[in-house]
């Protein structure tokens, strides 16, 4: 069974005001002194962010427990320093991000200008093991039309700089300002993939292969496919659902490749529209059907995804987890809907953040 790992980026906030706080260096130093969690937490582009990475797991129950443990550890380290962690993909309250000190980040600020000074967003990246780069690229070429559905499931960033953005995932809109971000054409082979990335680096527009910010890519660190379209999810069980669905997509695509099935011919221009629609409406409006790229109710498109990966979910024992969590999301909403409902009930973005701190640890 393929192993899965999850990386989550969390916001560090003032527990009283809800405003992001640039405490990542202090939290990382605190975590480094704790032998119970060596190497789990990492710095990110901004001082108001904290990232963690789980270990690879084959069992979804074990992965879910580890996501919760990492969130709890992040909360404990932060609370010791007078701040809180919250799984929000953008800050509801206005913020001026603080760039983390490093030569790499300084290069990015000089190269890309204002977007680097504004781009405080938090994502969820899912890594699934593959046997080879060739299998990995075959997977990348076949999962492309399904990635916007994952975006819709994870949407958790409706607010930006103190106002409603009109999007369920405004993080997605901010993220696409990177020149290498977004959907890709089929690569065809591992050689084609690596040649494409090398050509991109050779333009000078990106610094190295790590900055190939495709919606899904081969990891340059692990023998995995890395899917990067998700907002960090408010609830840990939504992150676990994302992991189960990504593994299902990877396994389904690998089986299609081995059986000789072709690659979907969707154009990048239409896939961009599918990603935009998913970010705009999340699960509360239409999505573009991955087969036809025409509008359908979100409920039907998510059901189509469950059917598409149904055999892989059954073989890994994840069918009930996926269907139960999807049913909860359709009924009660994901992070974007929860945040908007909290604002409607409390009238305060500060209270939205405070309530989401509680949700993060639930």
pLDDT band with cut points at 50, 70 and 90 for residue 344: very high
Q: What is the mean pLDDT of residues 310-334?
A: 97
Enter the pTM of the model.
0.97
Q: What is the mean pLDDT of residues 134-163?
A: 98
* Residue 362 confidence (pLDDT): 82
> Per-residue pLDDT for 240 more than 80?
yes
Calculate ∠ Cα 201-169-328, nearest 5°.
125
> What is the share, in percent, of the chain residues with pLDDT greater than 70?
99
Q: How far apart are CA 112 and CA 129, in angstroms?
A: 32
Residue 172 burial (CB count, 10 A): 28
pLDDT band with cut points at 50, 70 and 90 for residue 35: low
Strand ranges for the chain from DSSP E: 4-13, 41-42, 49-53, 84-86, 123-129, 159-160, 163-164, 216-218, 224-231, 286-288, 295-297
Domains of the chain: 4-361 (3.30.590.20)
């Amino acid at each position: 069974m393929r192993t899965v790992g999850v990386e989550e980026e969390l916001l560090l906030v003032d527990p009283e005001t809800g405003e992001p706080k640039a405490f990542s260096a202090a939290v990382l130093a605190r975590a480094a002194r704790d032998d119970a969690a060596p190497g789990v937490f990492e710095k990110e582009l901004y001082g108001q962010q904290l990232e963690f990475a789980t270990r690879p797991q084959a069992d979804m129950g074990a992965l879910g427990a580890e996501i919760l443990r990492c969130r709890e550890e992040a909360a404990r380290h932060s609370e010791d320093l007078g701040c809180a962690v919250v799984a929000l993909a953008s800050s509801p309250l206005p913020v001026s991000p603080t760039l983390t000190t490093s030569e790499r980040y300084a290069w990015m600020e000089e190269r890309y200008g204002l977007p680097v000074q504004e781009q405080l967003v938090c994502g969820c990246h899912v890594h699934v093991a593959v046997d080879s780069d060739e299998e990995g690229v075959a997977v990348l070429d076949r999962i492309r039309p399904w990635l916007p559905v994952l975006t819709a499931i994870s949407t958790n960033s409706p607010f930006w700089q103190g106002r409603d953005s009109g999007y369920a995932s405004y993080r997605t809109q901010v993220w696409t300002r990177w020149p290498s971000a977004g959907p890709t054409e089929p690569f065809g082979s591992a050689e084609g993939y690596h040649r494409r990335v090398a050509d991109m680096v050779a333009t000078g527009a990106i610094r190295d292969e790590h900055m190939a910010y495709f919606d899904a890519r081969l990891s340059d660190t692990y023998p995995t496919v890395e899917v990067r379209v998700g907002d960090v999810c408010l609830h840990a069980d939504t992150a676990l659902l994302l992991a189960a669905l990504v593994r299902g997509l990877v396994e389904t695509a690998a089986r299609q490749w081995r059986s000789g099935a072709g690659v979907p011919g969707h154009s990048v221009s239409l896939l961009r529209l599918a990603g935009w629609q998913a970010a705009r409406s999340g699960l509360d409006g239409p999505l573009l059907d991955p087969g036809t790229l025409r509008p359908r109710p979100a409920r039907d498109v998510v059901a189509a995804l469950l059917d598409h990966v149904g055999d892989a979910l059954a073989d890994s024992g994840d069918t009930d987890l996926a269907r139960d969590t999807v049913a909860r999301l359709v009924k009660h909403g994901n992070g974007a809907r929860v945040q908007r409902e909290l604002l409607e009930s409390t009238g305060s973005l500060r209270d939205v953040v405070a309530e989401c701190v509680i949700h993060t640890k639930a």
